[in-house]
Amino acid sequence: MKSDPNYQAKWFKTVKDYKESGLSMKRYASKTSIKYYQLQYWVRKYNEADKVKPTPFAKVETQKVKPASQTVKVTYGRLKIELPEHFSESVLLKILKAADQVV
């Protein structure tokens, strides 16, 4: 095999044309005046290259989405207290005790 990439590309195009023709290898070689053994060789090379073809990767970018934090609003006298949705009951009791001293 020549190392010239154009030479390989020419043969790969020939093999692709052969595969699309629907003809047998012998009939295609005869019809196009190509040596049968050369066509066999390049069909094998084409199939091997097709097996090791790198899988293209797509770049995927993600963004972390902060969930909307829901709050619990408590009005205690003149005080308005906002707590996260999953607050500790003991924390609320401490806040209310402190609020009793202020209100």
Q: Name the percent of the chain lying above pLDDT 70.
A: 90
Residue 14, Cβ neighbours under 10 Å: how many? 19
Instruction: Tell me which DSSP letter residue 8 carries.
Output: H
Instruction: Decide if pLDDT at 75 tops 60.
Output: yes
> Which tokens go with 102?
């202020």
Bigger pLDDT: 58 vs 82 = 82
Instruction: Decide if pLDDT at 85 tops 90.
Output: no
**Given the DSSP bridges, would you call strands 71-76 and 79-84 parallel, antiparallel or unpaired?**
antiparallel
Contacts of 10 (CB under 8 A, 6+ apart): none
Sole residue written with tokens 């308005």: 80
* CB neighbour class for 45 (10 Å; exposed up to 12, middle 13-18, buried from 19): middle
* Residue closest to 86 by CA, chosen among 97, 72, 74, 73: 72
Residue 28, Cβ neighbours under 10 Å: how many? 20
Residue pLDDT, tens place only, 7-51: 999 999 999 999 999 999 999 999 999 999 999 999 999 888 877
Residue 81, Cβ neighbours under 10 Å: how many? 15
Find the mean pLDDT for residues 73-82.
Answer: 81
Find the mean pLDDT for residues 64-92.
Answer: 80
